[in-house]
Chain A
Amino acid sequence: MVDWRLFEPLFEFARRKSLWIVAFCTGCGGIEMPPLMTSRYDLERFGMMPNPAPRMADLFLITGYVTPKTLKRIIITYELQPDPKYVMAHGSCPLNGGVYWDAYNAIKHLDKYIPVDVIIAGCMPRPEAVMDGINKIMEMIEKGTADGWKRYKENYEYYRKNQDELFGEGWREKEARRWIPWLMDRKKEE
């Protein structure tokens, strides 16, 4: 059998040079993405590519404030991604609430619910700052310190407890069935 650990440096290089972004824009930072992707700053020269499907994405950008309703989708999308996966949060809102520090509908600490590898300061960070953060995450992958996905597995009880405290027990099943009664009623009418 081949010992795949021999090829680990090659894999690390490939992971660093081809980060595919899951296209899930929350909050106001989504508007910083078009200049990053298009001819002004052109992220594709680092091999990064926005990807609509979470199954083949590596990097999850949380671009701005996160409401509890969005956080449910973020957690599900994060768990859909295959394993070496990294999370980067933009701005002060995912860090400590930012300007929404007393809003009933914006979560205050993102890293209580999913592990975050890099947080970029600013409100909103300019594309240059985002590129600096991407450089940082590439360095971290090279050193092996971007280990959020390992932390999520090891401390799953902690994260699960925080999620359940915010959303209530059994929120996944409840969310999946939320619209069924309304759809059923519509069918009966027709």
Chain B
Amino acid sequence: MMVIETALKALLILLYATFVGFMFMGIIRIVTARIHRRVGPPIYQPILDTIKLLSKKSSITHGLIYDFGIIYALGATILALMFIPLGGVSILRAYGDLILITFLLEIPMLGIMFAAMSSGNPWAGLGAQRALLTLLAIQVPLGFAIVALGEFYGTFSTYQIVMAQQSMGWSITSLPLLLAAVAYDLVLQAMFGKEPFDIMIAPGEISLGPMVEFGGKHMGILQIQHAIALFAETLFFSNIFLGGAVITAFASPIINTLATLVVLLIKQTAVLMVAIFIGAIFPRFTIDQAARFYWKWPTIIAAAGAILAAL
């Protein structure tokens, strides 16, 4: 009975995350269009794109790694999603270590890199190099931000941090964690692959970089992966910095869960909006500028946060 219940929960979380992730992708496109003074596509456009991509005939393959890398990326994203606390429904939240989740959220990039490199396309190789450099650049501020959180709360468990915030107030209300949140938000920009740190995909310059060789079903699976990753990254941010959501005001547990999801959704949308606005108004950094930026300002801010939290 336990097994069936857990499996059902996992399936529900997965469906919910995929749906909301696609809505987030639609919101990104609509809001960007409105900033450009365009009408923009309907909000369900990414779902149609994915259905179309999955219905295409892909008659090419570049070997085992090319197929495996994409499944690897999707699997890692789903695993990361299961570890993040999502109100009362998440299944692996007790084991959700900060470092583990951060690691799992970066793994998909590696999977896509494997697949892109094995395709042999020069643009894909160039894009993979740039993505790995970006990955390297964001590690330093990301590490300091995580250390600041761990020092402040005395634990690395995401769930305990969420519970602690219910009594102590949101993380960003204290100065050291506000600094860490600012640094983490700058890192989030690169993890979403939005401007000014989208040099690894750079459409029009290196033809979408790692994505250039994916077509048809491969690209469809990558779209699903992108949707889940969007959901997971915003959820992680709102859990550790924006207080998460644990609502016990109502009598029925189902209403409590629904209220939790709504509160989390509002916080996630806020995180997403910040990323969209930054992305829509900034031009693109070259790779050396991006690395220099990440190793300078976010690192200083996050390190200051970590030192203040340790004092």
Contacts and interface: CB of A to CB of B under 8 A. Distances in A.
Interface centre among B49, B56, B58 (most CB of A within 10 A): B56
A52 to B, nearest CB: 4
Given A52-B203, A52-B204, A53-B211, A18 B39 contact: no
Interface in A1-53: 7, 10-11, 13-15, 17-18, 20, 23, 38-39, 42, 44-47, 51-53
Among B42, B52, B207, B211: residue with most chain A CB under 10 A? B52
Contact of A15 (B42, B55, B207, B211): B55
Interface string B41-52: 110010011011
Nearest to B216: A82
A168 interface: no
Interface residues of B, number: 32
Given A53-B212, A83-B57, A14 B40 contact: no
Nearest to B33: A44
Nearest to B213: A55
A56 interface: yes
B292 interface: no
A178 B53 CA distance: 35
A81 B219 CA distance: 13
A102 B190 CA distance: 53
Given A55-B212, A56-B215, A84-B56, A18 B49 contact: yes
A10 B47 CA distance: 12
Contacts of B40: 42, 44-45
A45 B45 CA distance: 9
A46 B207 CA distance: 23
A56 B39 contact: no
B131 to A, nearest CB: 16
Interface in B98-133: none
Q: Is the interface of B mostly helix, strand, loop or mixed?
A: loop
B29 A17 contact: no
Contacts of B52: 11, 14-15, 18, 58
B56 A47 contact: no
Residue among A13, A18, A45, A58 with the highest chain B CB neighbour number at 10 A: A18
B214 interface: yes
Given A15-B52, A82-B56, A42 B33 contact: yes
A38 B38 contact: yes
A7 B38 CA distance: 32
A42 B39 contact: yes
Contacts of A44: 29, 33, 38-41
Contact of B55 (A14, A38, A47, A55): A14
Interface in A98-143: none
Nearest to A44: B41
A53 B207 contact: yes
B167 interface: no
Interface of B: 29, 33, 36-42, 45, 48-49, 51-53, 55-60, 203-204, 207-208, 211-216, 219
Interface of A: 7, 10-11, 13-15, 17-18, 20, 23, 38-39, 42, 44-47, 51-53, 55-56, 58, 81-84
28 contacts: A10-B51, A14-B55, A15-B55, A18-B49, A38-B38, A39-B36, A44-B29, A44-B41, A47-B48, A47-B49, A51-B208, A52-B212, A53-B215, A55-B212, A55-B214, A55-B215, A55-B216, A55-B219, A56-B53, A56-B219, A82-B56, A82-B57, A82-B215, A82-B216, A83-B56, A83-B57, A84-B56, A84-B57
Given A45-B40, A82-B216, 14 more contacts: A10-B51, A14-B52, A15-B52, A15-B55, A23-B204, A38-B36, A38-B38, A39-B36, A44-B38, A45-B41, A52-B203, A53-B208, A55-B213, A84-B57
Lowest 10 CB-CB distances: which A-B pairs, in order?
A55-B215, A83-B57, A52-B207, A11-B55, A14-B51, A14-B52, A42-B38, A53-B212, A82-B216, A45-B39
